[in-house]
Structure 1
Amino acid sequence: MTPRFRIARLALPLAVLAMAASQAVAAAPTDAPAAPSSTGRTAAPRDTAAASDRAITAEVQARLANARTLDPARIRVSTTDGVVKLEGTVRDDKQRTMAMELARSVRGVSAVSDELRAGTD
């Protein structure tokens, strides 16, 4: 066997292994961090959850405002980790039920805490 043949005999399997390894690396999933925000910082999970809670609160408030029989000025809405808390007063239990159903219908809401009082104060 000539030295050239020995080198070629070793080089071919090494080239095939290198190609297979590069394909495996390219196909592997990455655990890339979140994309940087416009400020150049990466959003922390807590920041993302807080933004989601704010969006949920805004959507619940909008739905309450669009309900013709509810007075949204008398209902306070807050959200923590997807749990919406409704506080304040409503005219009767029918309005309480309506407010709770509207809050539950918002995407991202995991639960609704009812701290509404029926009757006028």
Structure 2
Amino acid sequence: MIKVEKVNKKFYDKKNGDFYALDDINFNVEQGEIFGLLGPNGAGKTTMLRIMATIMGQTEGTVTVNGYDTVKNPEEVKKSIGFLSGNTKLYKKLTPVETEGTEKVPSKRKKA
């Protein structure tokens, strides 16, 4: 389960000063539920995902993943969630099979 409560993320821009990429974001994702973040470029989707994956901290609010706070228990959160940004160059280094993670499955299990 993922719970996001009153999350804000403030950045500083030299030209314009402080601005909010996320402003009072709230949502819950229950176990087994399929959930998507939709919006135009610059809407804060990647920022929210980075906060949920403990890659970035929020300015205000709380995020919990499987009951663990992303700020207080980031290591426990990382055990529960995987995150690979589409912006990474890792895809160019991996085969399609490797991106699915099947290279880690023992060959006896692959046949099943």
TM-score norm. by structure 1 comes to 0.28
Structure that is richer in helix per residue: 1
Higher relative contact order (CA 8 A, sep 6+): 2
TM-score w.r.t. the length of structure 2 is 0.29
